[in-house]
Amino acid sequence: MHPTGANVSTRLQALGFTRTSGPVHLNLPPAELVEQALRRSEGTLTDTGALMADTGKFTGRSPKDRFVVRDESTAESVWWGDINIPFAPEKFDQLYAKMVQYLADKELFVRDAYAGAHPEYQLKLRVVNELAWHNLFCYNMFLRPAEGADTSWTPDFSIICAPGFEADPAVDGTRQPNFAIINFSKKMILIGGTGYAGEMKKGIFGVLNYLLPHEKNTLSMHCSANIGEQGDTAIFFGLSGTGKTTLSADPNRGLIGDDEHGWMPGNAGIFNFEGGCYAKVIDLSQEKEPQIWDAIRFGSIVENTRFVPGTRTVDYANKSVTENTRTAYPISFIDNAVEPSVGGVPKNIFFLTADAFGVLPPISKLDKSHAMYHFMSGYTAKVAGTEVGITEPQTTFSACFGQVFLPLHPTTYAEMLGQKMDEHDVNVWLINTGWTGGAYGTGSRMKLPYTRAMITAALNGELEDVEFVKHPIFGVEMPTAVSGVPANILDPRNTWHDKEAYDKTAADLADKFVANFQKFADFANEEIMAGAPRVAVAV
């Protein structure tokens, strides 16, 4: 039996829904949500039992339509600009009233959940969805209360998500009809005009990125995390295409989480924010990603995918809707998932980059200054052909490897990372999964077995007694030997036939790092700036 009647009404009235005439479903289990989604023609079943659904016009987040209400509580603390676009409190209230009115006669799906696997840092959530499959997404992605638990709580944060409701930009203060707005004073997120489910997940991530550092002295991180048999925790930062999902999915280590974590004060360790995984599935294969492949079953969702014609088999190579095809499933669908999703203080931190210029070493060790600098830089590179008009590698910088989700200035998170390095004996490694022997088009991609061997060596402590040499431009420490890896590839300059071309390319990349960091220079302290690469200054 599911709570109905007064329980539902009380929850909705607290969110401003004083009059609802449509059916309201509270905390439906996955099987019933799938039934509801099929009944409402929101999706179809694949041959593995997963629910296939489309997100409509928007197949990804819309960063330019993400707003934060600017009021007394946020005016001086939020990092305002292109990432956190200010929104007027009165416009929020106006839009909120319109959304409540729009949803008053709709069939609604309400869910009680929470974010944060550690009980002291949990955020109690209430979500109101217009779509059944969105409510299933929330069941999968947020943490699920224990069966029979009393969830008639006052939520710490609420989400109202109505893809069918569109704002009037001229009246409501939005840029377009779609929007995602966080109000820290009202403890609410409004999402309208977009069916992309990831807006809900990343909305709560943005909330935690504000509350945890600002109020709980806890470092929020856009990273994956795993744990070894000896209880040693490792975390992996990296932008799209760097290998974060692949390299953190280690059959010999337990998965704590694949995307969002918090690092608590003292010796308390880390915890996952989520109860599920939201993975890209473009070109997914059983051979490359067996854990994700096996997780796509009944209860899972696949977004914006298409079938092999005449079958119910998903064609993961099909990009006709978007390259951002995804799956969402509970973390328990991964065999080696750790539950509860918590771990000790990290022993090793890996910054992953796919350097398409072939400059950075395949593995290097970072001191505190270099760690903070590279954390704030959040570098990787796009290769030619990934986007129209790109004919040579292009740098991508995203502060803290998740700039678009940061309500506070990046120095806040970088300085917290530096404090963690001071407090704990933690190693920070920069791993280049990109090119060696030349830039993209000339060199070759670093072999995955070599990268795995380097990470394993770091995890096992095999590099503690190895000699290191300093990179002349980037200043990072390069090991001279790693078991199972040819020694000649450890210094990238050795892999280039034309050494002068390497030196020039390395200097050019260093210039790009410095140019990108200019926007932070006024906020970054001397210790962070000491991690900058050495660039030649024209006389």
Active centre residues (catalytic) = 61, 202, 222, 240, 244-245, 259, 326
Q: Shortest CA distance to 242 belongs to which of 369, 397, 351?
A: 351
Measured distance CA(140)–CA(146) in Å, rounded: 14
Cα 466 from chain centre: 34
Tokens 């953190």, residue located: 248
For 118-152, b/e burial (b = at least 16 CB within 10 A) is: beebebbbbbbbbbbbbbbbbbbbbbbbeeeeebe
Q: State the DSSP code for 44.
A: E
Identify any residues that bridge with 365 across adjacent strands, giving them in sequence order: 429, 477
Measured distance CA(432)–CA(281) in Å, rounded: 23
Question: Angle 30-39/132-141 helices, nearest 10 degrees?
Answer: 150
Measured distance CA(173)–CA(170) in Å, rounded: 6
Q: Shortest CA distance to 182 belongs to which of 164, 201, 204?
A: 204
- Decide if 293 contacts 50 (C-beta within 8 A): no
Measured distance CA(318)–CA(23) in Å, rounded: 37
Q: Which helix (H) or strand (E) holds 39?
A: helix 30-39
Tokens 């920070």, residue located: 428
Within 10 angstroms of residue 498's Cβ, the number of other Cβ atoms is: 11
Q: Shortest CA distance to 337 belongs to which of 251, 453, 214?
A: 251
Cα 69 from chain centre: 22
Q: Shortest CA distance to 207 belongs to which of 118, 81, 98, 122?
A: 122
HSE value, Cβ hemisphere, 13 Å, CA-based, for 87: 29
Q: Shortest CA distance to 261 belongs to which of 222, 207, 226, 204?
A: 222
Can you point out the beta strands (E) in 242-397? 254-257, 260-263, 270-272, 276-280, 301-303, 326-330, 342-343, 346-353, 363-366, 379-382, 394-397
Tokens 């280039």, residue located: 496
Q: What is the largest CA-CA distance in the chain?
A: 78
